[in-house]
Amino acid sequence: MKFQSDLKQAFLIKRYKRFFADVRLKNNDIITVHCANTGSMIGLKNVNQKVLIENSGNPNRKLLFSWKLNELGSGSFVIIDTGMANKIINEALIDGILPELSGYASFRKEVKYGSNSRIDFLLENGEHEKCYVEVKSLTLSRKRSVAEFPDSVTSRGAKHLIELSNMVKEGHRAVLLFLVCRNDCSFYDVAGDLDPYYYQCFKEAKQAGVEILCYDTKITYENVKLGRLIEGLHK
């Protein structure tokens, strides 16, 4: 997916109230930008962190700019806007570049299922062959080359794992798709120390037959797109 306008470089002052961040532009102007990330953002919100922001082009919007990326140097980036993960997967499904999820006649987004939940993508071949795909965005990295999920306690994430397990029990295919939203990692891991319950649910989901896939991303100043399949740190 392409950014809708050229990204502008800035430096982080602080992130607060989850959805707001103050940044300093190169001309030293200070503006408030939208932060579309509800996680703890461990290691991604340091003062003077180099960030890339995007102009929405909507003068009526309360916050004209949105925080899209962190620039780590040496060509390394982190996607801050977690909403981009589903857009990347949506494009990949349309383009047919996710071989593990190929062979389906159609797919729908944000479909109600389970106990008051919505699945990110429902792949279908008629009424009887269904594949439930839940996408999770990985931005945390505390060990070199390893991306982790979650970055804080996520009861919602645990619920999704239980819902996916139930779909398998009902005879459907279910996939947890980790998307590493940074381009400096070669492996993924589950951060059981940050959320032991999620880790337990993850192990139980795998045992129940939920498939785990993980892809990294290709990130530039112009666009982001699906990268390559990567493995878990512990198989």
- Provide, rounded to the nearest whole percent, the portion of the chain with pLDDT above 90: 95
Query: Which residues have CB under 8 Å from 17's CB, separation 6+?
Result: none
- Are 214 and 180 spatial neighbours (Cβ–Cβ below 8 Å)? yes
Query: Which residues have CB under 8 Å from 2's CB, separation 6+?
Result: 222, 223
Domains along the chain with CATH numbers:
8-79 (2.40.50.580), 84-232 (3.40.1350.60)
The token pair at 62 is 């309360």
The 10s digit of each residue's pLDDT in 130-159 is 999 999 999 999 999 999 999 999 999 999
Residue ranges of alpha helices (H) inside 18-116 are 84-95
- Are 83 and 133 spatial neighbours (Cβ–Cβ below 8 Å)? no
Residue ranges of alpha helices (H) inside 76-178 are 84-95, 155-169
The token pair at 77 is 């980036």
**CA dist., res. 24 & res. 15, Å (int):** 12
Question: Residue written as tokens 């982790």?
Answer: 148
Burial of 144 (0-12, 13-18, 19+ CB in 10 A): exposed
User: Distance of alpha carbon 11 from its chain centroid, rounded?
Assistant: 23
Q: Could you tell me the CA-to-CA distances from 17 to 11, 21, 82, 104, 165 in Å, in that order?
A: 18, 8, 16, 41, 34
- Are 155 and 196 spatial neighbours (Cβ–Cβ below 8 Å)? no
The 10s digit of each residue's pLDDT in 75-132 is 999 999 999 999 999 999 999 999 999 999 999 999 999 988 999 999 999 878 999 9
pLDDT at 128: 82
Q: Which residues pair with 65 in a beta bridge?
A: 55
pLDDT at 235: 57
The 10s digit of each residue's pLDDT in 190-213 is 999 999 999 999 999 999 999 999
